[in-house]
Structure 1
Amino acid sequence: MTIPGQDGVDRELVDLERLAPWMDEQGLPAGDFERVEVLAGGTQNILVRLERGGRAYVLRRPPRHLRKASNEVLRREARVLSALAGSDVPHPGLIAACPDEDVLGVVFYLMEPVDGFNPSQRLPAAYATDEAWLRAVAFDVIDGIAALGAVDHEAAGLGDFGRPQGFLERQVGRWMHELGTYGELKGYGGPRIPELDRVARWLDDNRPVAWTPGIMHGDYHLANVLFEHDRPRLAAIVDWEMSTIGDPLVDLGWTVAMWPGEGAPIGPAAALNDVRGFPTPAELIARYAERSTRDMSAIDWYTVFACFKCGIILEGTYARACAGKADKGVGDVLHAITLALFAKADTYL
């Protein structure tokens, strides 16, 4: 049987013959599939754009080679997007979600397409030549996480979405343990990060004692947002796979740690490091303070923590590369970024 549109995407990724009746059950418009294509940009999960019955969708599913938590991650993503409906947080609108694996063999969901572009690689001419556009959209990026942190997660139905009790207290030990597990990989000689112990001790000794739980994106930087094409505006925050209930100021610290500019670590927006016009990290922090009632006195702690956590995550790929389980060139680059992040963290101590 030939399904119109199936030649546009591998059946192992999305079986349109099985997807169609499920969409019918959700009350979505029927008809042939059209303009089916796999979208670039998803590094962990897969995005497929499709049209049916005159309506456009983006289907998000786990990677072809599933990891242990791949399906649960997609369930959580769909739940967050559902909870954000009607909020001031720019996000892709959730259309329908399939939390079980019976239809496509994996969890998946359908969301509204977003008319926007990711700025991490290059900027369109209007942005690249107008510093006022860069400043405006950068502040909109900050307004996005300020709005996210202001959402009442319990009223939004996310009261059991995370474990906020003791969240900050767990972080250093949790990520030091993660780093320790890399030693099980043959060929990895252990972390050679000069500032590691000093940064870990400082984080434990200077941890904020009071904070207010809220929704965290968990990986907030310029590679995980979309900008509008025709005006300097944040179109959507994307890639919610690390979201949880914790301290939303971690998102601000993460943004500051990854923000492009002179001396910034080579990170997800490295192509923007030479772009002139972006606000400084201090201006970003001031903007967040204008949009939030949260105590900002310990923002340096959140920036250091972001460097610490992100560096350890990247070191995992380097460890796998040493063991022959990831590309050696990529591993070497990520190890260099880890060293740069810890060096940056050390400047705050």
Structure 2
Amino acid sequence: MTDWLVGLGVGLQAPLTYERVGLGQSNLTYLVTDAKGARLVLRRPPLGELLASAHDVAREHRILAALQGTDVPLPRVLGLCEDPAVTDVPVLAVSHVDGTVVDERADAEALSPAARHAIGLSLVDTLGRIHGVDLEAVGLADLASHKPYAARQLKRWSGQWELSRTRELPELERLTERLRTLEPEAGEVALVHGDCHLRNLIVDPDDASVRAILDWELCTLGDPLADLGTVLAYWPQPGDPPTMRFDASMVEGFATREELVERYAEITGRDLTHVPFWHGLGLWKLAIILEGVRRRQLDDPRNLTAMGRIPAGAVDELVACAHAVLDEAD
């Protein structure tokens, strides 16, 4: 791998050191540092047996490469290695972007009150840029199906649940049926990031503007409100049912979910009638993703991180939270 990286022509000098960074449990991220202190970032699939179509690093490379000339804040794509003589899985190399990543509650507390309030609004502004990408112009019009997105998501993630679940969970099955009943009619087709939350941002430490949005493996084509629903699903606030979700957004000064929705309406002008459905769907997907993490951890302990093993109750809590969102909308 070192020879391939040095051969990219970006000025790296051996020897290289490799350090896993971030708390992600899906595609794994590594910081590479050379003999002079220059840095870049590698992405690769997780260890162990993977579900079909999941963790597709080559697809992530295609998306990032297509977006290089747009106003979406991204790292610079440096290369993709699929040579079996070098690596047993595809590996994506991108530039290192300086800035702050809110990986821990302490990172949020270290921001100024103004930056705390701004970071959520900046994330929503970034979504507006993503959803405004001209698919034909960047060559991504064929990235995914143009069929109704809600139905596609319900089918796909129900299938993921069946393949990755570790036990029976009737409340998740009931949630799935509620979402099918509430499924909105097909809307516009836009680029959808698919995994929008604080930990996937690199921001300016002073004004909290987004310097890069990361982790594009779930990117697809579909209803842009799905991304807003994902943001809300990852954005706990006081009064929510208890969950193990990252709670930085509960630090004093962060924007409320209502403010995020209002900001999105302001910058895009879209009809937000079905936001509660997409919020509930986001929590449902997050529960299924977390169950998949649990499955991979049970199958291969090498997928454990400093967070340790995900307990079953963490999935149950997200399902209960999704039911609460739909109950409130009713």
TM-score, normalised to structure 2, is 0.84
Amino acid at match of 1:103: V
Mapped to 1, the partners of 2:202 and 2:50 lie a distance apart of 26
Alignment of 1:114-263 (within 5 A): 114-124=97-107, 128=110, 130-181=112-163, 188=167, 190-193=168-171, 196-197=173-174, 199-263=175-239
Q: Is the 8 A contact 1:90 1:236 kept in 2?
A: yes
Q: CA RMSD in A?
A: 3.1
Q: Is the 8 A contact 2:236 2:245 kept in 1?
A: no
Q: Which moved more, 1:64-73 or 1:245-254?
A: 64-73
Deviation at 1:212, TM superposition (A): 1.2
> Once the two structures are aligned, what percentage of the paired residues are identical?
30
| Corresponding residue number in structure 2 for 1:4 | none
Q: Is the 8 A contact 1:223 1:268 kept in 2?
A: no
TM-score, normalised to structure 1, is 0.80
2:282 corresponds to 1:306: yes
Alignment of 1:1-349 (within 5 A): 15-16=1-2, 18-20=3-5, 23-24=6-7, 26-29=8-11, 31-34=13-16, 36-41=17-22, 42-44=24-26, 45-51=28-34, 55-65=38-48, 67-69=50-52, 73-124=56-107, 128=110, 130-181=112-163, 188=167, 190-193=168-171, 196-197=173-174, 199-264=175-240, 265-270=242-247, 272=248, 274-317=250-293, 330-347=310-327, 348-349=329-330
Q: Which moved more, 1:90-99 or 1:211-220?
A: 90-99
Mapped to 2, the partners of 1:121 and 1:340 lie a distance apart of 24
| Corresponding residue number in structure 2 for 1:12 | none
- Other structure's SS at 1:154 match: helix
Deviation at 1:224, TM superposition (A): 1.6
- Other structure's SS at 2:104 match: coil
- Unmatched 5+ stretches in structure 1: 1-14
Deviation at 1:149, TM superposition (A): 0.8
Q: Is the 8 A contact 1:29 1:53 kept in 2?
A: no
Amino acid at match of 2:212: A
RCO higher in 1 or 2 (8 Å CA, sep ≥ 6)?
Answer: 2
Deviation at 1:117, TM superposition (A): 2.5
Deviation at 1:311, TM superposition (A): 2.1
Tell me the alpha carbon deviations over residues 86-107 of structure 1, each in whole angstroms, 9 at most, x when there is no partner. 2121121112222444432321
Sort the Cα spacing of 1:56 and 1:71 in 2 relative to 1 into closer, same or farther, 3 A. Answer: farther
Aligned length: 321
- Other structure's SS at 1:344 match: helix
Sort the Cα spacing of 1:33 and 1:254 in 2 relative to 1 into closer, same or farther, 3 A. Answer: same
Deviation at 1:237, TM superposition (A): 1.0
Amino acid at match of 1:40: V
Sort the Cα spacing of 1:201 and 1:71 in 2 relative to 1 into closer, same or farther, 3 A. Answer: closer
Greater Rg by CA = 1
- Unmatched 5+ stretches in structure 2: none
Q: Is the 8 A contact 2:13 2:34 kept in 1?
A: no
Deviation at 1:219, TM superposition (A): 1.4
Sort the Cα spacing of 1:235 and 1:267 in 2 relative to 1 into closer, same or farther, 3 A. Answer: farther
List, as ranges, runs of 4+ consecutive aligned residues in structure 1 with deviation greater than 6 Å: 323-328
